[in-house]
Amino acid sequence: MIISLFKKTKACYNIKMIYLKKITLSSDNPNIWPYTIPSINALSELEFKTPITFIAGDNGSGKSTLLEALAIKLKLPSIGRVDAAFDESLKALKPLADSFKQTFTVRPKNKLFLRS
């Protein structure tokens, strides 16, 4: 489940705060992990309309998988670890990351992936 923090009725924020506008996913092989995760398999497009987005779901529903693959795709630097794109523990997510196509409103100068 993806929850936006701001209501759509009022533009109470600067649209330039939204760097990543949307991601689309094209799966070549839906029968291998992580495409076998139902939420990943069902995902074709994810649009970000507000500056803050919460991703919520049960354990094992694909939240971390989605965010870690996105961090790999965007080559986000990490704090206290190797950057997501070069992290061996995330190696299995590279095919998912490669299947993302992203659309930006503005390319951010500074970016960070905080993995807990």
pLDDT at 9 over 70: no
pLDDT at 91 over 50: yes
pLDDT band at 5 (very low <50, low <70, confident <90, very high): very low
Choice between 7 and 46, residue whose per-residue pLDDT is larger: 46
pLDDT of residue 45: 92
Tens-digit pLDDT profile for residues 10-68: 555 555 677 888 999 987 777 888 888 998 988 899 998 888 888 899 999 999 899 88
Domains identified in the chain, total number: 1
In a domain, 111, yes or no: no
In a domain, 75, yes or no: yes
Mean pLDDT within 65-91 = 82
State the Cα angle at 27 between 4 and 33, rounded to 5°: 90
Q: Which domain holds residue 23?
A: 2-104
pLDDT at 1 over 70: no
In a domain, 36, yes or no: yes
pLDDT at 97 over 60: yes
Q: Nearest-CA neighbor of 73 among 17, 2, 20? A: 20
In a domain, 113, yes or no: no
